[in-house]
Amino acid sequence: MRVLMVLAGVLPVLAGCGTSEEAADANAAAANYRPPSVTSRLDYGGQIERRFHRLDKNIDDKLSEDELPERMRRVLMRGDTNGDGSLSSDEWGALMLARFDRQDLNKDGSVTTEERVAARQSRRDARSGDQAAR
Ligand SMILES: [Ca+2]
Ligand SMILES: [Ca+2]
């Protein structure tokens, strides 16, 4: 895990070694386009942790309801398994890994861009199904 974090710190520096023109092109492209990617479960673990700490504004190692993105609150608070009204790092990790495993359609331990897109589409389908049923 430590190695991954070090790498994550070094890569943007390496990427910055091109000319500024290249960098500007890359930024413009990055704004509109996400290259196909494969995320392994291990990488994802690091992302989950970083996201937890980013959201934990008062740094008490818990995500209270008001620290969660508003539209995700209801869903996320289902992960509050000990019912203390906030998500611990373990509760958050379990939720996010469950999400990863749902996206990992062929269960090979990594999520490709196609799988992520498919998962998003099936959520969208589920939502419009809900609306149609009303
Ligand atoms: Ca907190
Ligand atoms: Ca909790």
Model confidence at 23: pLDDT above 70: no
Q: How far is the CA of 100 from the centre of ligand 1 (A)?
A: 23
In a domain, 133, yes or no: no
Give long-range contacts, CB 8 A cutoff, 24+ apart: 91-98: 92/48, 92/52, 92/63, 93/45, 93/48, 93/49, 93/52, 96/44, 96/48, 96/51, 97/41, 97/44, 97/45, 97/48
Domain count, the chain: 1
Q: Domain range holding 63?
A: 37-124
pLDDT at 87: 97
Model confidence at 17: pLDDT above 50: no
pTM, whole model, 2 decimals?
0.65
Q: How far is the CA of 133 from the centre of ligand 1 (A)?
A: 37
Q: What is the CATH number of the domain that holds 82?
A: 1.10.238.10
In a domain, 101, yes or no: yes
pLDDT tens-digit series, residues 33-77: 667 889 999 999 999 999 999 999 999 999 999 999 998 898 899
Q: How far is the CA of 78 from the centre of ligand 2 (A)?
A: 9
In a domain, 89, yes or no: yes
